[in-house]
Protein backbone atom coordinates (compact mmCIF):
# COMPACT_ATOMS: atom_id res chain seq x y z
CA UNK A 1 0.00 0.00 0.00
CA UNK A 2 1.33 3.40 -0.95
CA UNK A 3 1.76 5.93 1.86
CA UNK A 4 2.02 9.67 1.42
CA UNK A 5 3.22 12.27 3.93
CA UNK A 6 2.98 15.98 3.21
CA UNK A 7 4.52 18.51 5.59
CA UNK A 8 4.17 22.24 5.01
CA UNK A 9 4.25 25.61 6.72
CA UNK A 10 1.59 28.28 6.32
CA UNK A 11 1.89 31.94 7.05
CA UNK A 12 1.17 32.45 10.75
CA UNK A 13 -1.89 34.56 9.95
CA UNK A 14 -3.31 31.75 7.74
CA UNK A 15 -2.74 28.81 10.11
CA UNK A 16 -6.13 28.94 11.84
CA UNK A 17 -7.95 29.17 8.51
CA UNK A 18 -5.94 26.20 7.22
CA UNK A 19 -6.94 24.19 10.26
CA UNK A 20 -10.59 25.11 9.71
CA UNK A 21 -10.38 23.85 6.12
CA UNK A 22 -8.78 20.59 7.27
CA UNK A 23 -11.63 20.11 9.75
CA UNK A 24 -14.12 20.54 6.87
CA UNK A 25 -12.32 17.79 4.94
CA UNK A 26 -12.66 15.46 7.93
CA UNK A 27 -16.38 16.26 8.24
CA UNK A 28 -16.86 15.38 4.58
CA UNK A 29 -14.81 12.17 4.92
CA UNK A 30 -16.94 11.16 7.90
CA UNK A 31 -20.12 11.91 5.95
CA UNK A 32 -19.12 10.03 2.79
CA UNK A 33 -17.11 7.29 4.55
CA UNK A 34 -15.01 6.16 1.56
CA UNK A 35 -13.76 2.62 2.07
CA UNK A 36 -10.05 2.02 2.36
CA UNK A 37 -9.12 5.64 3.04
CA UNK A 38 -6.87 6.28 6.03
CA UNK A 39 -6.13 9.96 6.51
CA UNK A 40 -4.68 11.99 9.36
CA UNK A 41 -3.69 15.60 9.70
CA UNK A 42 -1.61 17.05 12.51
CA UNK A 43 -0.76 20.58 13.50
CA UNK A 44 2.85 20.24 14.61
CA UNK A 45 3.51 23.87 15.44
CA UNK A 46 1.72 27.19 15.18
CA UNK A 47 1.92 27.12 11.39
CA UNK A 48 3.35 23.67 10.52
CA UNK A 49 1.03 20.90 9.34
CA UNK A 50 1.51 17.23 8.47
CA UNK A 51 -0.95 15.18 6.40
CA UNK A 52 -0.71 11.38 6.24
CA UNK A 53 -2.56 9.25 3.72
CA UNK A 54 -2.50 5.47 3.45
Q: How many structural domains does the chain have?
A: 1
Interval 29-42: pLDDT, tens: 899 988 888 899 99
Over residues 11-31, mean pLDDT: 95
Name the residue range of residue 22's domain. 4-53
CB 28 within 8 A of CB 37: no
For the question of whether the overall pTM of this predicted structure is more than 0.75, the answer is yes
CB proximity list for 46: less than 8 A, separation 6 or greater: 12, 15
- Annotate 1-39 with DSSP letters as a single string: ---EEEEEE--GGGHHHHHHHHHHHHHHHHHH--TT--E
Amino acid sequence: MKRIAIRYRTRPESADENQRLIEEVFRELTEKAPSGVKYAALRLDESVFLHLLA
